[in-house]
Structure 1
Amino acid sequence: MRRIFALSCGFYLLIGITSVVLGALLPVLLPYYERGYSDGGFLLFLQFLGFLVGVMVSPSLTVRMGRKWMLALALVCITAAYLLLGWLPSWSIVLLLTIIVGFGSGIIEPSVGAFTIEFTENQKAVAMSKLDVFFALGALLIPAAAALFIWLDQWHLTFFAVAVSSLILILLWVTMPQAAAQYLEQAGENTTARGTNRASYSKKHLGLLTIFIVFFFVYMGLELGLMNFLPSILVERLELNESVASLSVSILWIAMIVGRLFSGKIAEAVHYMPFLIWSTVGTLLFTVSMIFVSGQWVTYVLIFGTGLFMSGLFCIALVYANVLIPGMTEKTTSILIAAGGIGGAVLQYLTGWSMSAWPVAGTIIILAGFCLLLLLTLMLSHLWNIRNNSLGAAFTQHTKEV
C-alpha cells in the first residue's frame, strides 16, 4: 500500500501540473499561433471538456479494464499528447491534443482519489490531504518552470518536460512490485463487487449526494475565481503592477500547501463537520476583509489566511461525503469531481462578468457569497443526515416493538 500511495502522490503531482501548464504558456502560445485570448479561453474549455468526459467514464473503465491498466492508459494519453505538443503542430491538432490531456487527467483524479478514500483503513482525511499537497505542488512549480523556459526562449520545452515526467510515472506504475499489483487487483475486485451489490443510491443518500454536488459546484467556482482573478482584483483595487499582483496567486498556493500538510490531522482530531464549518467561516471572513483594507502587505496576509482556511475544504468534504454515502466511493467521487469541474467553468464566467460590470468590491462580495453557499450546504447536509438517522432509528424501534 505504501508503494501505491507514493505513486498516487505522483499522479496528483502530474494532474496539478496539467491543470495549469497551458494557462502559464498562453502569453507565448497564442502569439505563436497568431490567436487571441478568446481562442485561449476556448482551448482551456476543451481541456475541461476532456476532463469531464474522463471523470464520467472512469468508474466504468475501472470495471472493464482494472484500475492498473486504466491509469496506465491515462498516462499514455498525457505523455503522447505533450510529446506531440512539444513539436508545436497545427492549431487544430493542438485543440485535439488538449482534449486528450484533459481526458487523461479526468480519469486519474477521481480514480486515485476514490481508491485512497476507500482503501486507506485509518486517517482517510490525512491521506487525501497529502495527495492534495502534491496537486498543489505541481500547480505551483510548473509556472516557474514555464517562466524559465520562456526566459530561455525555448518555451515549447515545457511540454517535453511534462511528457518526461509522465513517462517516468508510467515506468514506475507498470513495473510496480508483484505484491503491490496483487493488492491493487484485489482492491479493484472488491470495488466491483460493492458496485454490483449497490447499483443505485437510497433516497437518503441521493439527498446527501445532491447537497454535496452543490457544495463542489460552488467550491470550485470559488477556488478558480480566486486563482484566476486575484491579480486583476489587486491591480484594480490597489493599483499594483501586474507582475507584483501576480504574486498573490503564488501566495495563495503556498498557503494551501502549508494548510494541506496539517488539515487532514486536524480534521481527524476535531471531526469532519466542525472542520468544514470553521474552514468555511474562516474563508468567508478573510475574503470579506479584503473589501476593507487598502494596504498591499495586509492584503497579502489576508490572501495567505484565505488559502490556509480553504486548503482542506475540497479533500475533507470529499472524504466526508463518502463516509456519509458508503459503498459507492468510485461513483460518488466521480460525480462530485465532475460537479466541481462544471462549477469551476460556469462560476468563473460569473466572476469574470462581475469584474467587467461592477466595481471590484462587487467581485469580492460574489466570492464571499460563494462562501455563504458552502456554509449553507454544509448545514443542510448535517441536518439531512441527522433527520434521516432519527427517522431510521425510530422505524427500527417501532419494528422491534411490533
Structure 2
Amino acid sequence: MKRLIWMGSLFYLLMGAIKVTVAAIVTVLLPLYDRDYTDAGALIFIEFGASIIGMLIQPWLANRISKKTMLHIGAIGVAACYILIAFLPPWSILIVGIAIAGFLGGIIESVIAAVILEGLQSNAAIAMSRLEIAFGVGSLLFPLAIGMLVRSGLWNYALLGIAVYCIFLSLFVRFSRFEGVESLFLPRHLTDLPHVVPATAASSGPVGAVVAAAATNHPSARLKRLWVGGSLLLPSFVFLFFLYGATDIGLVNYLPSLMLETGMADAGTAPISVTVFWAAMIVGRMFAGYEAERIGYRRYLFIHWSSMIVLLSLFALNRNPVLSYTLIVLLGLMLSGLYVVTLVYMKKLMPKNIARNTSIVMAGCAIGGGLFSVVAGRMLDTVSPSYVQWMMAIVALLSLITYVLYAKESNMQVEQNEFAHAEGSIK
C-alpha cells in the first residue's frame, strides 16, 4: 500500500505541473504569437475543457481496460505533447497539443483519485492530503523552473524535463506490482469484488496506520440509506466543485496579472505571488487532513469557506503590496485542504459508485476553472481588475451558501461519528 501512495504522489507531482503549464508559459507565448489576455483565457479553457472530457470518459475506459494501461498511455502521451509544445509549433497545432495533454491529464488524475479513494475507507483525507502536497510541489517548482530559464531563453527545456519525467512514470507503472491491492487496477468487468484493502496489505508507519484503519471500517447501513435518499447530494457536490475550481484556478492563473494590473507588483515581481501562494498551499496541505479528521469535515469546510469570503474581500479592497502578500499566504492556507476534504466528505456521504462520482465532480471543478479563466481574461482586457477580485469573493460566498444547503441533506449521525472519532484521536 505504501507503494500505491508513492505512485499516486509521483503522478500528482506531474498533475501539478500540467495544471499550471499554460499559466507558467503564457507570458512567453503571448508575445511570440502576438496574442492577448483573451487568447490566454481561451487557451486555459481549452486545456481544462479537454481535461473534463478525460475525467468523464475515465469510468467508461475503466470498465474495459486496466487502470495501469491508462496511466501508461497517459504518461507517454503527455510526454509527446510537451515535446511538441517545446518546439513552438504553429498556434493551431499548439492548441491541439495543449488540449491532448489536458485530456490525458484528466484521465490520469481521475484514475489516481479513484484508486486511492476506493482503497481507503477511513482517514482518507490524510492520505489524499499527501497526494495534494505532491500536486502543490509540482505547481510550485514548474513555474520557478520556467522563470529561471526564461532569462536565458531556455524555458523550453522545462517542458522537455517534464516529458522525461513522464517517461519515467510510464516505466514505473509498467514494471511495478502492488501486492494486496493489484485488483484496484483491474477492469471492472473482470472482477465483482469490492475495492477494499485487506488488513494484511497495511504497511508500517503513518501510511500503514491509515491503511490498517481503512481495512476494518466499512460504510454503515445508515450511510447507505443516506446515499439512496440524498438525491440532491451529487448535484450539490458538482456545483460546489464547480465553484471551487473557479476560485482555485482563477487565483493560480491570474494572481500575477491582478498584482500587476492593480499596481501592487511590477512585471519582475508579479510572478512571485504564485510562488508565495503555492508555498502556503503546500504548508497548509501538510496539516489539512489531520485538522479535518480532528474537528470534523463539516466544521472544517464551514470555517475555511467562510474565511475565504473575508480574505478575498480584503484582497479586493487592498492596494498595499506588503498586506497583499500576507493575504495571499492566508488564502493559500485556507484553500489548501478544501478540495481534498470536500472530496473525502463526498465519499463518506455517498459510499457507492466512488469512481463515477469522483470523475463527475472533478469534471465540475475543471469546468468552473475553465469558464472563470475565459471570463476573467476578457474582463482584464476591458474593465478594472477589481471587478475580477470581487467576482472571486462572490464565488466564495456562493460556495458557502451551497455548502450550507447541501449540509442539511446529511445525517446528524455522520457528524456525531466524526466528533466521536475526533475525541478518540485527541485522547
Is TM (by shorter chain) over 0.5?
Answer: yes
Match of 2:106 in 1: 106
- Give runs of aligned pairs for residues 8-87 of structure 1, distance below 5 A: 8-33=8-33, 35=35, 37-87=37-87
Q: Find 2:342's aligned residue among 307, 314, 317.
A: 317
- How far did residue 109 of structure 1 move? 1.1
- Give runs of aligned pairs for residues 224-373 of structure 1, distance below 5 A: 224-355=249-380, 359-373=384-398
- How far did residue 38 of structure 1 move? 4.5
- Local SS of the residue matching 2:155: coil
Distance 2:389 2:373 in 1: 13
> % of aligned pairs identical?
31
Q: Does 1:122 align with 2:122?
A: yes
Gap change, CA 1:221 and 1:165, over 3 Å in 2: same
Match of 2:139 in 1: 139
Distance 1:187 1:268 in 2: 32
**Which range moves more in the overlay, 303-312 or 35-44?**
35-44
C-alpha RMSD of the superposition: 2.7
The amino acid of 2:241's aligned partner reads F
Match of 2:401 in 1: 376
- Alignment check: 8 A CA contact 2:49 2:367 kept: no
- Alignment check: 8 A CA contact 1:234 1:240 kept: yes
Match of 1:177 in 2: 177
Distance 2:9 2:299 in 1: 27
Distance 2:107 2:256 in 1: 31
- Local SS of the residue matching 1:242: coil
Match of 1:400 in 2: none
**Which range moves more in the overlay, 375-384 or 28-37?**
28-37
TM-score by structure 1 length? 0.87
- How far did residue 233 of structure 1 move? 3.1
- How far did residue 32 of structure 1 move? 3.9
What do the CA deviations read for 1:5-31 (whole angstroms, capped 9, x no partner)? 101101111011111123322233344
Gap change, CA 1:190 and 1:307, over 3 Å in 2: farther
**Which range moves more in the overlay, 354-363 or 167-176?**
354-363
Distance 1:57 1:187 in 2: 14
What do the CA deviations read for 1:228-252 (whole angstroms, capped 9, x no partner)? 3333333344453232233222211
Gap change, CA 1:105 and 1:178, over 3 Å in 2: closer
Unaligned runs of 5+ in 2: 196-225, 415-427
- Alignment check: 8 A CA contact 1:50 1:99 kept: yes
- Alignment check: 8 A CA contact 1:68 1:185 kept: yes
Unaligned runs of 5+ in 1: 196-200, 390-402
The amino acid of 2:288's aligned partner reads S
**Which range moves more in the overlay, 69-78 or 233-242?**
233-242
The amino acid of 1:93's aligned partner reads I
TM-score by structure 2 length? 0.82
Aligned length: 384
Distance 1:90 1:289 in 2: 42
Match of 1:221 in 2: 246
